[in-house]
A and B are shown apart, each in its own frame.
Chain A
Amino acid sequence: MGIELRLKKKLQGFCLDAELSDSSRRIGILGSSGAGKSMTLKMIAGIERPDEGRIVLNDRVLFDSEMRTDIKPQKRNTGYLFQNYALFPTMNVVDNIGAGLKGKNREENRERVLNIIDKFKLKGLEKRLPSELSGGQQQRVALARILVYEPEAILLDEPFSALDSHLRDHMQEELFSMLDDYPGTVIMVSHSRDEIYRFSESLIIMDRGHIENHGETKHIFEAPGTRTAAILTGCKNISDIRITDSHTLEALDWGVTLRVKKPVPEETVCIGYRAHQFEPLWGEKEENCLRFDLLSSHELLFERKYYIKGKKTISWFAERSLWPLIEKKGNPSFLKIREEDILYLKE
């Protein structure tokens, strides 16, 4: 089980160069747009060809530039869920789902299509064209079309980016539960950290064609390791540092000196701190505190965003549960940085 990749391909403006091997069932690829995520999926599916490298899926070599192996996409047995679903516009729901089935046993094929229509709650829509379906229904048809074909791996290319935000949460739930009893590998590409966090067991962070970090999803969110990975996992505050000694460092962009109990890892060039994790303090200054010099604030439905003056603006997001305290005591005097929440980052 699992996937093994070694990919090199020249793209516009940068070179995709990635190597990894992963055996988890649910793999997420996170990166900003144009990082080479979709290209990676397309190369696995055989739609795009790497300049050189090797692709192995469940011990089957799909591509190997040295061995001159390049299995056609038709024979790779991967299911690709396109961003726009790519349903065939002139075929109705039944024909779309059955399009990839080989005509050995027509009765049996029909049976399989009808079964999956039932399972995916598409009954009554059999004769509709894709243009007559809602976005959610289209996605179900696209997924049904993939699953009826029993692929060895499913590749999801930004599956929720085309949906309205109020639909997205519901569709994520629906898609993930439909994939629950799918035994093969699923790889999902996304630029949304929430989606990725919810879905994937292991996580690959990509930036400009190379792999920034790769490992267990929860672990990477806790310790992103690099500046780019920290930004992509949603860390709002990042500061360059100067290490004074192994227990003291100066956060240059925030104008504060931090003292820590555990030694600062070598090679650390900057630190990150998530906007939700500051602890507000009123009155006396403590160790590892930022002065609360408010630039501006905005109230959202469930949190307030405060922007604090520093060499680089610092963000603090106060959750609703903190609001009564702030109403009572006024704006805090300081924000405390907790040692256990500091992210030590390399370049």
Chain B
Amino acid sequence: MDSFVGIMSSLDWSPLWISLKTGIVATILCFFLGIFAARAVMNMRSPLKAVVDGFLTMPLVLPPTVAGFFLLFLFSQRRPLGIFLWDTYGIKVVQSFLGCVIAATVIAFPLMYRNARAAFELIDINLIYAGRTLGMSENKIFFKVVIPTAGPGLISGTILTFARALGEYGATSMLAGNIPGKTATISQRIALVMQDQDYVTGGIWVLIVIIIAFAAIVLMNLAAGKTQKNVKRWG
């Protein structure tokens, strides 16, 4: 018991804040990018639609290390884009918090995009036609009709995106590294302490991740239930 208290009091809490910050920023980015991408894809014709959709979904089906490979290929300090960003703007993606966010965003993006698109596909096309014949602009139709109608789907997409971004490991460790206090997220910390067979510290972090993920899902479900009058109930 003493050892547990000792470990808790001496625990470095920074992975929690880094993971939360990464998760929240990445979720916000994915939310807007995913909805925007889904809208753009919905307006495309069929062969192009299939190709673009495939490209946007790739990070979901590929191993995260493959995404990590491409991200390094782009942003490495020895590659043209990485050099350009550093020389011109002083921006460093590799081994930085920005790297954590970019890796988590890329990996979690397909979840938001696919959920948004699925929600859009379910919307009765006549609603959009009705909006047009009533003189509503395409933007007004999108924000006043499509987004609210797709609400439940967008919320579940956001939940999944957050959960995925929070736990991202593979691409993050390649792009951002595991620098304590800077880029070491909870998942990376768990992997690190387990190399020393430190089950207590690892277990504490596992518990924390479970609590955050579960709380996020329950909270968002409750929020969805409150705003949407038309949440279905079977039985």
Q: Which residues of A contact B (CB under 8 A)?
A: 42, 45-47, 72-80, 82-84, 86-91, 99-100, 102, 129, 131, 145-146, 149
Question: Do A82 and B131 touch (CB < 8 A)?
Answer: no
Query: 18 more A-B contacts (CB under 8 A) besides A47-B132, A74-B133, A88-B145?
Result: A47-B129, A47-B133, A73-B132, A74-B137, A75-B135, A76-B133, A79-B133, A79-B134, A82-B129, A83-B126, A86-B129, A88-B127, A88-B131, A89-B149, A91-B148, A100-B131, A129-B230, A146-B134
Across-interface contacts of B136 in A (CB, < 8 A): 74, 99-100
Contact (Cβ within 8 A) B230 A89 = yes
Q: Quick one: which of B130, B135, B144 contacts A82, CB cutoff 8 A?
A: B130
Q: Which residues of A contact B126 (CB under 8 A)?
A: 82-84, 86
Question: Is B151 an interface residue when CB atoms closer than 8 A count as contact?
Answer: yes
Q: Is A90 a contact of B133 with CB atoms below 8 Å? A: no
Contact indicator B144/A80 (Cβ below 8 Å):
no
Q: Which of B134, B148, B149, B151 contacts A100 (CB 8 A)?
A: B134
* CB-based contact A102/B135 at 8 Å: yes
Closest 8 CB pairs of A and B: A100-B134, A86-B126, A90-B148, A86-B130, A73-B132, A80-B133, A47-B129, A82-B126
- B226 CB–A CB distance under 8 Å: no
Q: How far is the CA of A78 from the CA of B130 in the complex (A)?
A: 10
Contact A145-B151, Cβ < 8 Å, known A82-B129, A88-B145, A129-B229: no
Which residues on B sit within 8 Å (CB–CB) of A89?
127, 149, 230
For residue B232, give the distance in angstroms from its CB to the closest CB of chain A: 11
B124 located at the interface, meaning its Cβ lies under 8 Å from any Cβ of chain A in the complex: yes
Contact B230 A46 (CB under 8 A): no
A251 CB to nearest chain B CB (Å): 46
A sample of 20 inter-chain contacts (CB < 8 A) reads A42-B129, A45-B133, A47-B129, A73-B132, A73-B133, A74-B135, A74-B137, A75-B135, A82-B126, A86-B130, A88-B130, A89-B230, A90-B149, A90-B151, A99-B134, A100-B131, A100-B134, A100-B135, A146-B134, A149-B135
Q: Which of B132, B134, B230 contacts A131 (CB 8 A)?
A: B230
Q: Which residue of B lies closest to A155 (CB)?
A: B133
How near does chain B come to A49, taking the closest CB pair, in angstroms?
13
- In the bound complex, CA of A146 to CA of B133 (Å): 9
Q: Which residues of A contact B145 (CB under 8 A)?
A: 88, 90-91, 99
Q: A294–B149 Cα gap in the complex (Å)?
A: 58
Query: B185-213 toward A: CB 8 Å interface, digit per residue (1/0)?
Result: 00000000000000000000000000000
Q: How far is the CB of A44 from chain B (nearest CB, A)?
A: 10
Residues of chain A within 8 A of B149, CB atoms compared: 88-90
Please name all residues of chain A whose beta carbon is closer than 8 Å to the beta carbon of B132 when the two chains form the complex. Answer: 46-47, 72-74
- A42 to B130 Cα, complex, angstroms: 11
Given A82-B126, A90-B148, A131-B230, A99–B131 Cβ distance below 8 Å?
yes
Alpha-carbon separation in the docked complex, A74 to B132 (Å): 5
One digit per residue, 1 when the CB lies within 8 angstroms of any chain A CB and 0 when it does not, for chain B 87-130 equals 00000000000000000000000000000000000001011011
Give the shortest distance, in Å, between B78 (CB) and chain A (any CB): 51
| Chain B residues, CB < 8 A from A91 | 144-145, 148
Q: Which residues of B contact A47 (CB under 8 A)?
A: 129, 132-133
- Verify B144–A99 contact, CB threshold 8 A: yes
B:129-187 near A, CB below 8 Å: 129-137, 144-145, 148-149, 151
Give the CA-CA distance A18 to B133 in the complex, in Å.
Answer: 23
A72 to chain B: closest residue by CB: B132
A78-B133, A100-B135, A149-B134 known; A86 and B230 CB under 8 Å?
no
Partner of B129, one of A76, A77, A80, A100: A80
- Bound CA span A76–B129, Å: 13
Assembled-state Cα–Cα distance A129/B149 (Å): 12
Chain A minimum-CB-distance residue to B138:
A74
Tell me which residues across on chain A come within 8 A of B134, comparing CB atoms.
Answer: 79, 99-100, 145-146, 149
Given contacts A82-B126, A99-B144, is CB(A46)–CB(B133) below 8 Å?
A: yes
- CA of A146 to CA of B229 in the docked complex: distance in angstroms? 26
Q: How far is the CA of A43 from the CA of B82 in the complex (A)?
A: 52
Write out the residue numbers on chain A whose beta carbons fall within 8 Å of the beta carbon of B131: 88, 99-100
Minimum C-beta distance from A272 to chain B (A): 37
Cα distance A80–B125 in the bound complex, in angstroms:
14
B124 in complex: contacting residue of A77, A86, A100, CB < 8 Å = A86
Residues on B with C-beta less than 8 A from A129 are 229-230
- B124: A residues at CB distance < 8 A: 84, 86
- Report the bound CA distance from A91 to B230 in whole Å: 12
Taking CB atoms, residues of chain B closer than 8 Å to A82 are: 126, 129-130
* Residues of A close to B133: CB separation below 8 A: 45-47, 73-74, 76, 78-80
Give the residue name and chain of the B residue nearest to A82 (CB). Answer: B126
Bound-complex Cα distance A59 to B124 (A): 33
Interface centre among B127, B132, B148, B149 (most CB of A within 10 A): B132
